[in-house]
Amino acid sequence: MQVADGTIETGTILDRIVDDKRKSLHSSKSRLPPIELHNSCIRELERPFSILQTQWRLSKAIAQGSRLLGTSQRGPKLIAEIKVASPSRGRLIQSTDGRWLEDLARTYTEGGACGISVLTEGSHFRGKLSYMDRARRSLQKRYPASRPSILRKDFLFDEYQIWEARANGADAVLLIVAILEEELLRDLMILAEIKGMDALIEVHDEKEIEKALRAGAKIIGINNRDLRTFDVDLATTERLRPLIPDGKLVVAESGIYNRADVERLATCGVHAILVGEALVTSRNVHEKMRELII
C-alpha cells in the first residue's frame, strides 16, 4: 500500500523501520531545517580543499577495484560494511569507544575494499550519520588519492536524506525498491546524480528488478535476505542475476561469509559483494578480507 510520502507498506519489518526513520527525519529537520542543510552543503563545496569536493563514484570503484592496492582482481570487488548491530543478530560490534571506527575503516582500506558501506540507521542498527562523516574524514586525510568509495546504507525516502548523505561525505546512497514508489525512486536517483553520487538500488525479487530497470538503475544490489523470515539464501542471486541486462553493475548483498560463498556468487557474474557481519564479527578482519577477495 502506498503512503502519502511516496513510501510503500510491505508487511515486513521494513514498515516499522521506515516509520521510525520518518520520526527521526522529522527531528533532523527540526534541528537543521532543509534550507540550512542546503546552504551548509553549498558553503562546504565552495571552500578550498573541501572534503565534499573529492568524490569517488561507487561505479568506478566497482569497475576498478581498490585504488590503494592497485592490483588486478579477477573476482567480485569487496564493499566492506561498518555495521554496529542488526535486528536479526543484535549487537555485532561490542564497543564503539575510542578510535574503533577510524581503525576499522583503515583496515578495510588497507585490506583491499573498493568501497565502505556505513550503516547510519539508529533505531534498529545502532548506526549514526556521524560514523560516515568520521570515516570519510579519516580516510580522506590518510589516503587522499586512494580511499574507497563511501556508501550511505540506510532507509532513504526523502530528498533531505540525500542532501544529508552528501553533507556527511557519501559518494553513493542505497535506495531500497521495496519501500519506494517508482516515481520517488527515480526522483531520488536523479537527485543523487545531481549531487555527484551514485545510487545502489536494492532489490529482492523479480518485480523489483523490473521496477529498478524502468527507473533507470545503473547499479543493482540483490539482497539475499528474506525480510519476512530473515532467512538468507544465495540462491536468490542465482535466480535473479540472469534478469539483469549487460551494462548494469550487480552487487550481491547478505549471507556472504566465506570464500566458497564468494566463488559461488562469482559464477553468477556479480561485479561486487557487500559484506558486513562476517567482517565485523571476525577475530581478524584483515585475514577475513583476504579470504573474501578472490
pLDDT at 20: 96
Q: Which member of 21, 128, 153, 211 is catalytic?
A: 153
Task: Please give the average per-residue pLDDT across 253-281, as a whole number.
Answer: 97
Q: How far apart are CA 170 and CA 164, in angstroms?
A: 9
Residue 201 — φ and ψ, nearest 5°? -100, 115
Residue 42: pLDDT band with limits 50, 70, 90: confident
Task: Please give the average per-residue pLDDT across 212-232, as a whole number.
Answer: 93
pLDDT at 51: 77
- The lowest-confidence range among 203-217, 228-242, 263-277 is 228-242
Task: Please give the average per-residue pLDDT across 10-17, as a whole number.
Answer: 93
Mean pLDDT of the chain: 94
Residue 128: pLDDT band with limits 50, 70, 90: very high
- The lowest-confidence range among 61-75, 78-92, 133-147, 162-176 is 61-75
The residues spanned by each domain of the chain are: 13-292
Q: Which member of 86, 223, 224, 277 is catalytic?
A: 223
pLDDT at 140: 93
Report pTM.
0.95
Measure Cα distances from 205 to 2, 153, 184, 224, 243 in Å: 19, 19, 19, 10, 10
168 is catalytic: no
For the cut 90, the answer to whether the pLDDT of residue 168 exceeds it is yes
Confirm if 199 and 217 have CB atoms less than 8 A apart. Answer: yes
Q: Which member of 86, 208, 254, 277 is catalytic?
A: 254
Q: What is the DSSP letter of 272?
A: E
For the cut 70, the answer to whether the pLDDT of residue 196 exceeds it is yes
Task: Please give the average per-residue pLDDT across 35-58, as a whole number.
Answer: 86
Q: Which member of 121, 202, 208, 277 is catalytic?
A: 202
Lookup result for grid cell 564503539: 96
238 is catalytic: no
Q: Which three cell numbers stand for residue 53?
A: 569536493
130 is catalytic: no
Residue 53 CA, chain-centre distance (Å), reads 20
Q: How far apart are CA 124 and CA 30, in angstroms?
A: 22
Residue 229: pLDDT band with limits 50, 70, 90: confident
Helix (H, G, I), strand (E, B) or coil at 202: strand
Query: In sequence order, what are the residues at sequence separation of 6 or more whose Cβ sits closer than 8 angstroms to the Cβ of residue 235?
Result: none
pLDDT at 132: 97
Assign a CATH topology to domain 13-292. Answer: TIM Barrel (3.20.20)
For the cut 80, the answer to whether the pLDDT of residue 149 exceeds it is yes
**Per-residue buried b or exposed e for 276-289, using 16+ beta carbons within 10 Å of the residue's own CB:** bbbbbebeebeebb
For the cut 90, the answer to whether the pLDDT of residue 40 exceeds it is no
224 is catalytic: no
Q: Which member of 77, 83, 128, 288 is catalytic?
A: 83
208 is catalytic: no
Q: Which member of 224, 253, 277, 288 is catalytic?
A: 253
